[in-house]
Chain A
Amino acid sequence: DVKVTQSSRYLVKRTGEKVFLECVQDMDHENMFWYRQDPGLGLRLIYFSYDVKMKEKGDIPEGYSVSREKKERFSLILESASTNQTSMYLCASSPTQGASTEAFFGQGTRLTVV
C-alpha cells in the first residue's frame, strides 16, 4: 500500500511563528504536492515538486515555501504564520510526471494559527 505520512495531525501555532509541515512517502514517487482545503473552496494547490530540489508554484504560493532535499520528503514552510493560514493541509504524491490520476493523499494536518 502506498503510504503518505504527515508528521502532525493537529498543530496550534502563534501568529508570526515559522511553521514546518513535514510529509514523507514510501513508494519512491517522483511527484509530491501540498494542498490546503477550506470549506466552500475545496482543495487548492500551494506548491508541487517533480524531483529532488525542484519546485513549482501552484495557485496560492504566497506566504509559503517548500523544501525537497530527499525524494521521499516534501516540507511546507510557513515563513510567518498568519491567522488566514488556518486550514487543513494535505500532502499528496504520484508516481511520475503526468501520472496524477494516481495521486495518493496523506491524512492531513489541521493547522490553527492564533
Chain B
Amino acid sequence: QKEVEQDPGPLSVPEGAIVSLNCTYSNSAFQYFMWYRQYSRKGPELLMYTYSSGNKEDGRFTAQVDKSSKYISLFIRDSQPSDSATYLCAMILSYNTDKLIFGTGTRLQVFP
C-alpha cells in the first residue's frame, strides 16, 4: 500500500464549477500537508500548506485536513480554464524532517 493515495483522474469540469481534489494517507504521524500545482512540462509550484487538522483558505482555494480520517482535500471555487493542471498532494512527518511524500497527482481539466 502506498503511503499517500491520490486518484489520477482526469477530472473534467465546466468553467465555474467547484472542484474537490483528495488524498488519503496511511501514516497517522504526518503533520504538514501541502498542495502543489503542476502545469504540463513544468515543475510543481506550491499552492498552500496546512499544519495538522483544519481548514486554510487562499483566494479561490481551500485546503482541508481531517486527521481522524487520514484524508485531505483541496477545493477550488469558480474554477477557470487556467486551473487545468495536475494537482499533487504532499506530506511530511514533522517540522524537523524534510522528506516530502507525494501523491501521484490528479489531472484536472476545466473546459470553457
Contact = CB atoms under 8 A, between A and B. Distances in A.
Interface in B10-40: 32, 34, 36
Contacts of B102: 42-44
B57 interface: no
Contacts of A42: 4, 6, 88, 102-105
Interface stretch (A60-68, A73-81, A96-104): A96-104
B92 to A, nearest CB: 6
A34 interface: no
Given A105-B43, A108-B41, A58 B97 contact: no
Secondary structure of the B contact surface, majority rule? loop
A43 B2 CA distance: 13
Contacts of B96: 97-98
B42 interface: yes
- How many interface residues does chain B have, given as a range? 20 to 34
B98 A48 contact: yes
A31 interface: yes
Contacts of B94: 98
Given A42-B105, A98-B95, A107 B42 contact: yes
Interface of B: 4, 6, 8, 32, 34, 36, 41-46, 49, 88, 90, 92, 94-100, 102-105
Given A31-B98, A99-B98, A103-B46, 17 more contacts: A41-B104, A42-B4, A42-B6, A42-B88, A42-B103, A43-B100, A44-B102, A90-B43, A92-B43, A98-B95, A100-B92, A100-B100, A101-B34, A102-B46, A104-B45, A105-B44, A107-B42
Interface of A: 4, 31, 33, 40-45, 48, 50, 58, 90, 92, 94, 97-108, 110
